[in-house]
Amino acid sequence: MDQLRLCQRCHAELEPDAAFCLKCGLPVIQTGVSASAAGEPNGTVRGGGYLRSVLIVLVLLACGPLLYELSQNGGLPVSVAGVHSNGRVSVTYKLTGNARGANLTYIDGSGNIQQQTGVAVPLKNGAGAPGISFMAGHGAFVSFSAQNNYSTGNLHCSIEADGVEINSGDSNGGYAIVSCTATLP
């Protein structure tokens, strides 16, 4: 009876003969029964062991660059417009408006929820550039919200992926909340 196998990284169900997880690209470690455990005499391998070994070595040599890329970037390399070769997307959360300050809640590049209170509007990073920027994985869910700290004013939030706005929102009035969410391309 076949046993259900799950990816060690993303816990997706794996095909019986999968070499890589179809969801996250992690190489699958094959487990099997050794020749001696299967009732074969020690040292006996069915199906042309020498030829199979040579073929495996050739495949590994040919796939070496791909395996190296997978080990360095944690996933399959992607060559899609707007997505970096390592599968990461540059994300920027921006906040503008005439409100004097806001409290922020957002998901960072690691998927963790972060909060900042009493942030000046327009939002700038430590270097003085607009917004909060980070790298996130292709297909990641991103979310950014801000609450006006004062009794008057408006807020406008936006999410950019590699410099292209993918979502925005507005709020008007005191203590109002604006929210933006998106799934990265």
Can you give the residue ranges of every domain in the chain? 88-183
Cα 169 from Cα 157, distance rounded (Å): 5
pLDDT, tens digit, for every residue of 50-105? 666 666 766 666 666 655 555 555 444 433 334 454 778 999 999 999 999 999 99
Mean confidence (pLDDT) of the chain: 79
Q: What are the two backbone dihedrals, phi and then psi, of residue 87, each rounded to the nearest 5 degrees?
A: 80, 10
CB burial class (10 A; 0-12, 13-18, 19+) of residue 167? middle
Report, at the CATH architecture level, how domain 88-183 is classified: Sandwich (2.60)
DSSP for 53-66? HHHHHHHHHHHHHH
* Residues 131, 132, 137, 143, CA torsion sign: negative
- Show the tokens assigned to 80: 């899609």
Is the predicted pLDDT of residue 131 greater than 90, yes or no?
yes
Average pLDDT of the segment spanning 17-22: 78
Q: Kind and range of the H or E element at 52? A: helix 49-73
Cα 32 from Cα 29, distance rounded (Å): 10
Contact 149, 160 (CB under 8 A): no
Contact 135, 88 (CB under 8 A): yes
Residue 152 identity (one-letter amino acid): T
- Reduced to 3 states, what is the DSSP secondary structure of residue 124? strand
pLDDT, tens digit, for every residue of 138-164? 899 999 999 999 999 999 999 999 999
